[in-house]
Amino acid sequence: MIEVADQKGDPSQATFSYALPEVVSITPANGSTLSDPRAPQRAQLCGRNFPLLEPSVEAVVFFGNDDDGTLRPATPAIKMPFDPTPNALQCVQFNVPSGNGPQRKVEMGVRQRGEGDFGLSTGQVTYSYNDPKVEFISSEQAGSSDELRQLAIDTFGTTFRVRLIKVEGTSFGSTLLADAVQR
Structure confidence by residue, pLDDT tens digits, 86-99: 778 888 888 888 77
| 69 and 151 together in one domain | no
85 and 137 inside one domain: no
DSSP state for residue 123 in the 8-state scheme: S
DSSP conformational letter for 143: G
* Number of domains the chain contains: 2
pLDDT 10s digits, 16-25:
556 788 899 9
Q: What predicted TM-score, i.e. pTM, was given to this entire model? A: 0.65
- Per-residue pLDDT reduced to its tens digit, 23-33: 999 999 988 87
- Long-range contacts of 159-165, Cβ-Cβ distance < 8 Å, separation of 24 or more: 163/139, 164/139, 164/140, 165/137, 165/138, 165/139
Residue 91 shares a structural domain with residue 109: yes
Q: Are residues 139 and 117 in the same domain?
A: no
Q: Which domain holds residue 75?
A: 17-129
Q: Are residues 166 and 141 in the same domain?
A: yes
- Lowest mean pLDDT, pick from 59-63, 99-103, 118-122: 99-103
Q: β-pairing, 125-129 with 30-31?
A: parallel
Centre a 10 Å sphere on the Cβ of residue 139 and count the other Cβ atoms it contains: 10
Same domain, 154 and 71: no
